[in-house]
Amino acid sequence: MFQQLVPLQEDAILGLMSKFRADPSPDKVDLGVGVFRDLSGNTPVLAAVRRAERSLLDAQTTKTYVAPAGRAEFNEAVGELVLGGSHPALVANRARIVQAPGGCGALRLGAELIKTARPQAIVHLSDPTWGNHAPLLGNCGLALASYPYYDMKAHRLRFAQMQDTLERAAPGDVVLLHACCHNPTGADLDAGQWHELADLLQRRRLLPFLDLAYQGFGEGLEADVAGLRHLTSVLPEALVAVSFSKNLGVYRERLGALIFIGEKSTEADTLRTHVLQIARGIYSMPPDHAAAIAAHIFAEPDLRTSWITELEAMRRRIAEMRSLLALALKERTGGSEFDFLAQQHGMFSQLGCSPEAVARLRERHHIYMLGDSRMNLAGLMPDKVPYVADSIASVLRG
Ligand SMILES: Cc1ncc(COP(=O)(O)O)c(C=O)c1O
């Protein structure tokens, strides 16, 4: 059976992680791996999560199955957190929410649902996008295409080109959008662009599939979903894949949700039967641990306030690193080329340099980032900013 298989190349991020670990230099800086780090370099268990987890462990009397849709109170809270209580789809009972194993699980569930409903649909991904989108959406057999999104050299969105390309997409196609904190570019649509995009999708009868992995990391819990809420309010149908890995810091516990909105309440019910059958055929039931923790945090005012305070601190730490690095690079280059770092959102931005320059930063200066020059700003520490800025300036000088 297996003898003809040849080994695959190591995943780029995992490869980078092992290179970083093996690097003995005291100067080394890890801007590669996409996890939040606090000022001590840790990816902490949030205090709210720890408190909720303790009371959960004390109160838990069974480990029996919950349900293929996961925990009902968690799903309900996700609807309010993401869509907002007065969202027209919630008011009209046209939205359904199913817990999933992480944002990845939710993306795959959504892809399988599209494949069931319309196997010939093409899923349009932003160029560039997160490396896992293509396998998560394409491995179930859907065809993929890409739309221009960002000019890495000019550090700006290619919104007009994005519109041109999507104008030519076939009705019934799917457009995958990053709801906020675009990975890898950090460049998000503004309010006007979300409105224009909503008009285009409606006119061209395209289905939006929103990936929400960083709610609260950009401008705040509410501001980060303003575009998503507009789009899902005006369009008849939509999918949203939600991840709580980053904003609750529960990465390994695998917590996410798929929100699906149908044109009518009965259609939403039908979709739910399909989503649950798909889930049964892949993993049967999502893990409950983090869902129980999250449901407890969302429901208890004290814990919720504590979580929002911690989330805000994470958001501010990233914004501060962005400002410090942009300023340090301005001082060293004498120009405004790197101002974009302070204006973009979330953990990631692309420096905009060549793979060779990325390799020089790693080999000469022990600074690790992805080959497309994606940096995780949440991996940077304030005391390393001058060193990183000096190194970038020196490598870019040649
Ligand atoms: C853009 C994007 N979408 C989705 C995810 C899903 O993450 P998870 O499956 O760990 O919740 C991530 C995580 O890195 C991401 O960056």
**DSSP H or E stretch at residue 193:** helix 191-204
Q: pLDDT grade, residue 9 (50/70/90)?
A: confident
Our answer on whether the CB atom of 95 is closer than 6 Å to any ligand 1 atom is no
| 3-class DSSP state of 305 | helix
Say which residue the tokens 């929100």 belong to: 259
Give the Cα separation of 33 and 376 in Å (integer). Answer: 7
Residue 348 and residue 131 in contact, taking contact as beta carbons nearer than 8 Å: no
Chain-centroid distance, C-alpha 67? 26
CA distances from 349 to 139, 188, 341, 354, 373 (A): 27, 11, 7, 14, 8
Parallel/antiparallel/unpaired status of strands 122-127 and 174-178: parallel
Q: Note the helical H segments in 93-158.
A: 102-117, 133-138
- Taking the C-alpha atoms of residue 394 and residue 90, their distance in angstroms, rounded to an integer, is 53
Q: Does residue 272 register a pLDDT over 80?
A: yes
Q: Is 104 in the pocket of ligand 1 (CB under 6 A)?
A: yes
Catalytic residue flag (residue 307): no
CB atoms within 10 A of CB 9: 6
Tell me the pLDDT tens digit for each residue of 243-266. Answer: 999 999 999 999 999 999 999 999
Report the nearest-CA residue for atom 6 of ligand 1: 103
Q: For tokens 């410090």, name the residue.
A: 324
The pair of structure tokens assigned to 168 is 């030519």
Tens of pLDDT along 386-397? Answer: 999 999 999 988
For residue range 37-59, list pLDDT tens digits in order.
999 999 999 999 999 999 999 99
Q: Whose CA is nearest to atom 3 of ligand 1?
A: 213
Q: How many angstroms is it from 25 CA to the middle of ligand 1?
A: 30
Q: Which atom of ligand 1 is nearest to the CA of 106?
A: 9
Q: Tell me what the mean pLDDT of segment 342-359 comes to.
A: 96
Question: 13 pLDDT band (50/70/90 cuts)?
Answer: confident
Q: Which of 213, 279, 294, 378 is catalytic?
A: 213
Residue 35: is it exposed, middle or buried by C-beta count within 10 angstroms (0-12/13-18/19+)? middle
Is ligand 1 within 6 A of the CB of residue 101? no
> What is the best residue among 14, 212, 243, 377 to mutate for testing ligand 1's pocket, by most ligand atoms within 8 Å of CB?
243
**Are the beta carbons of 285 and 134 closer than 8 angstroms?**
no
DSSP state of 253: G
- pTM, two decimals, is 0.97
> Given ligand 1 and candidates 13, 35, 104, which is best to mutate, with the most ligand atoms within 8 Å of its CB?
104
Minimum-distance ligand 1 atom for the alpha carbon of 245: 11
